[in-house]
Amino acid sequence: MRDSARRSSYLLALNWLFFFAVSLWISIAQGNLLWWLRLRWGSWLTELSALGQLSAIPAGSLWILWLMVSLSLSAIYWLTPDGRTPKQTQENDTAQGALIVPNADLIDARPELKEKLLRLHQSLERI
């Protein structure tokens, strides 16, 4: 897994951990979990339009927004091909290498061709 993908997964996990910790804290402070049912699930998006006029925004709308953004980011992260495991990436690279060089024995028989391919490969890596 690349470093950026690893950092993304850590940040996503940290977001969910913080979300559940704060939700648990509010539930303990109120004494029950029913505060989620009292949120205005039908009008939260229209209430966020008050943000354009810098008006007061209900806290419930922000909670729902946080939940929706977290769910969207999680879905995007898990559905992208960059979320592949290193084993899958290695298998794909091996399969692509087999397709690129179908006659590897012919290339090995000609050392000048092999050297030219090596220089080409090195120049492509620099790009």
Q: Domain boundaries in the chain? A: 3-83, 90-126
pLDDT in tens, 4-54: 778 888 999 999 999 999 999 999 998 888 888 888 888 888 888 887 888
Tokens of 42: 């039908």
What does the block give as tokens for 73? 């980011």
How far is CA 66 from its chain centroid? 17
Burial class (CB in 10 A: 0-12, 13-18, 19+), 70: middle
Alpha helices (H) along 2-126? 3-30, 44-47, 59-79, 86-100, 104-109, 111-126
Alpha carbon separation from 63 to 40, 42, 86, 87, 89 (Å, rounded): 10, 13, 36, 38, 37
Is residue 93 predicted with pLDDT exceeding 70?
A: no
Lowest mean pLDDT among 17-26, 28-37, 58-67, 81-90: 81-90
Burial of 29 (0-12, 13-18, 19+ CB in 10 A): exposed
Predicted local confidence at residue 75, as pLDDT: 92
Residue 71 has pLDDT above 90, yes or no: yes
Task: Name 15's Cβ contacts closer than 8 Å, sequence gap at least 6.
Answer: 70, 73
